[in-house]
């Protein structure tokens, strides 16, 4: 079975649609959404409905901090995120906000665990930006594979048979064998607002049969999304950062 693992869509319809199409052509039979469906981007309603539709067809979906905020929870946010969130909330229906609020914080399937940020304390939404920050997640769960998002920067770490957690370098679009001798944690990057300098949607393809993970990048109409952000009067920084992927 191939899982397309998406996270941090952030109301970017163009990126979301492009990834879903790319995932389908690569034989993904199951979709996973690791949260932050809304916030920052210009199409929260469409993205929310799409995720609900995917969930209805068997997709695994968990809740991120922006989804939490959209549902009304008091999430700490930067002023920029706050401005976008106020705009977002006004554009979501009661049902859409309730849907986001109902998503679970953690989901498990087979030997994989799915969570928006650190698995050690899912409600705290801590950033995993290094091997030291990945270590608590390995301690918190027995799952062999942990998938998360939140940082918008792809990262791969593994815990070797001796218990040492190390970050691993990898190349995009090339399959990585997930050796069964160790446990793995992948931050799969961001569909709708990548921040690693690549202005393409980031996601991951997990092939459970081949036991391989591929960090993928999918080009999308970045200029189109940026235009919409500007047309909606959302902060200019949000449009500019999409164009550079930073």
Partner 1 sequence: MPVRPHTGLEIDGFTLGEKLHTGGFATIWEVTHPDQDLHMVMKVPTILDGDDGPTIVGFEVEQMIMPRLSGPHVPKVIGIGGFDVMPYIVTEKIEGGSFLAVFQQAPLPLSDVIEIGARMVAAVADLHRQHVIHLDLKPENFLQRKTGEMVLVDYGLSRHDQLPDLLAEEFTIPMGTYPFIAPEQYLRCRDDPRSDLFALGAMLYALATGRNPWGTPQRLRGVRKRLWRDPEPPRAIRPEIPEWLQEIILRALSVDPMRRYQTAAQLAFDLAHPQQVTLTARALKTRRDGWLQVWDRWRVMRKLRRFDAPVSVAAQLASVPIIVVAVDLSPEGERLAEVLRAAVKRMLTIEPDARIACVNVIKTARIGIDQGTDDQGNNLHVMRLVQLKAWAEGIELPDHRLTYTVLEGPDPGLAIIDYATANHVDHIMMGARGYSTTRRYLGSVSAKVVAEARCSVTVIRLPEERAAA
In the complex, which residues of this chain contact partner 1 (CB under 8 A)?
156, 158, 160-162, 164, 166, 168-171, 174, 176-177, 179-182
Smallest gap from Cβ 112 to partner 1, in A, equals: 17
Cβ proximity to partner 1, 93 vs 132, nearer residue: 132
Cβ proximity to partner 1, 111 vs 237, nearer residue: 111
Smallest gap from Cβ 133 to partner 1, in A, equals: 17
**Rg for the chain (alpha carbons), in Å?**
17
Cβ proximity to partner 1, 139 vs 180, nearer residue: 180
Smallest gap from Cβ 181 to partner 1, in A, equals: 4
Q: How far apart are CA 145 and CA 129, in angstroms?
A: 17
Q: How far apart are CA 151 and CA 240, in angstroms?
A: 18
φ/ψ (deg, to 5) at 157: -135, 155
Cβ proximity to partner 1, 37 vs 157, nearer residue: 157
Length of the chain: 246
Cβ proximity to partner 1, 164 vs 243, nearer residue: 164
Cβ proximity to partner 1, 62 vs 155, nearer residue: 155
Smallest gap from Cβ 108 to partner 1, in A, equals: 20
Q: What's the token pair of residue 99?
A: 């849907």
CA dihedral 12, 184, 103, 81 (to 10 degrees): -40
Q: How far is CA 173 from CA 47, 78, 176, 208, 233, in A?
A: 25, 32, 9, 17, 35
Smallest gap from Cβ 18 to partner 1, in A, equals: 25
Smallest gap from Cβ 144 to partner 1, in A, equals: 11
Strand 2-6 versus strand 30-33 pairing type: parallel
Element (H, E) at 22: helix 13-25
């Amino acid at each position: 079975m191939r899982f397309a693992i998406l996270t941090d869509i952030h109301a970017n319809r163009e990126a979301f649609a492009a990834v879903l199409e790319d995932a389908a052509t690569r034989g993904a039979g199951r979709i996973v959404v690791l949260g932050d469906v809304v916030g920052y981007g210009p199409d929260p309603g469409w993205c929310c409905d799409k995720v609900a539709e995917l969930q209805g067809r068997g997709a695994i979906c968990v809740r991120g901090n922006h989804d939490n905020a959209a549902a009304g929870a008091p999430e700490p946010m930067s002023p920029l995120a706050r401005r976008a969130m106020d705009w977002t909330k006004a554009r979501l229906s009661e049902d859409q906000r309730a849907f986001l609020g109902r998503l679970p914080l953690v989901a498990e399937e087979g030997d994989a665990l799915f969570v928006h940020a650190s698995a050690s304390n899912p409600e705290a939404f801590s950033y995993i930006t290094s091997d030291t920050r990945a270590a608590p997640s390995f301690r918190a769960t027995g799952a062999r594979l942990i998938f998360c998002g939140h940082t918008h920067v792809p990262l791969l770490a593994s815990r070797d048979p001796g218990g040492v957690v190390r970050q691993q370098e990898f190349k995009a679009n090339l399959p990585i064998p997930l050796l069964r001798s160790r446990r793995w944690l992948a931050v799969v990057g961001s569909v709708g607002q990548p921040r690693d300098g690549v202005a393409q949607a980031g996601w991951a393809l997990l092939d459970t049969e081949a036991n391989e993970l591929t960090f993928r990048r999918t080009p999308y109409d970045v200029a189109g999304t940026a235009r919409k952000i500007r047309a909606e009067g959302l902060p200019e920084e949000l449009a500019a950062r999409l164009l550079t992927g930073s």
